[in-house]
Amino acid sequence: MTAPEQIQLENIADSDYEIFALLKQRYSPRIFKDRKVTEQHLHQLFEAVRWAPSSNNLQPWRFLYAEKGSEAYEKIVDNLTESNKTWAKNAPLLMLTAFHKKTDQGKENFHALHDLGLGLGGMTVQAQYMGIAMHHMAGLDHKKAQQVFNIPEEFHIVSAVAIGYYGGELDDLPQKLQKKEIRERRRMPQNEFAFKNRWGTD
């Protein structure tokens, strides 16, 4: 077993209850194989989003992606926080996510962010099925990115995503991030976020 395969194995979630295997296997790596994401796989990822549920079928999600080596890729990197730049600059593909703020009637689409999340959730599971990792990042200057890419005001940039096939070398990361890559995964217990009949745990 190779070192990257061992990391993947150790990152399988130790769930309290049995869940879909792809959900247990999914994690957010900071290392990727040095391999371009194929055009076919990209279409499959966006097709998963295309069939995600959305309020009134408005499908408010939008994505802007770029491959490593392109000018657009470097622009996305430039808009990331310094901590994200240290590892995301090696991902084969970077993507910005956004949503349309208004409904077709020009009213605020209160559910647009929720719908974008549903779309990205579907994309993430589809990616996992194909051996593709997605690391979602909140750390970016969304206002600057909006200007750099001339994105219309009616859209709001939410996050950046690093995408690539699982693999890569741990030594490509700084020592501090190497420790994060292999540390034990933790989640809050269900009773801290799922309440029956009344709010809270008291």
How far the first Cα of the chain sits from its last, in Å, is 47
Q: How many CB atoms lie within 10 A of CB 75?
A: 17
Query: For residue range 142-188, what is the model confidence (pLDDT) as tens digits?
Result: 999 999 999 999 999 999 999 999 999 898 899 999 999 989 999 99
- For 91-113, what is the mean pLDDT? 97
Class of domain 3-185: alpha beta
pTM for this model (two decimals): 0.94
Report how far residue 202's alpha carbon sits from residue 196's, in angstroms, rounded to the nearest whole number: 12
Question: Which H/E stretch holds residue 67?
Answer: strand 61-67
φ, ψ dihedrals at 160, nearest 5°: -120, 155
Indicate the pLDDT class of residue 47, thresholds 50, 70 and 90. very high
**C-alpha torsion angle, residues 93, 122, 132, 161 (rounded to 10):** 30
Whether 12 has a pLDDT exceeding 80, the answer reads: yes
Residue 86 reports pLDDT greater than 90:
yes
Contact predicate 116/54, CB 8 Å: no
Q: Write out the two tokens for 94.
A: 């970077």
CB 134 within 8 A of CB 106: no
C-alpha 160/C-alpha 158 separation (Å) is: 7
The total of other beta-carbon atoms located within 10 Å of residue 65's CB is 19
Q: Are 95 and 41 in contact (CB under 8 A)?
A: no
**CB of 133 within 8 A of CB of 28?**
yes
Q: Where are the domains of the chain?
A: 3-185
Is residue 3 over pLDDT 90? no
Query: Closest by alpha carbon to 163, among 96, 72, 78, 94?
Result: 94
Give the pLDDT band of residue 130 (cuts 50, 70, 90).
very high
Percent share of the chain, pLDDT over 90: 87
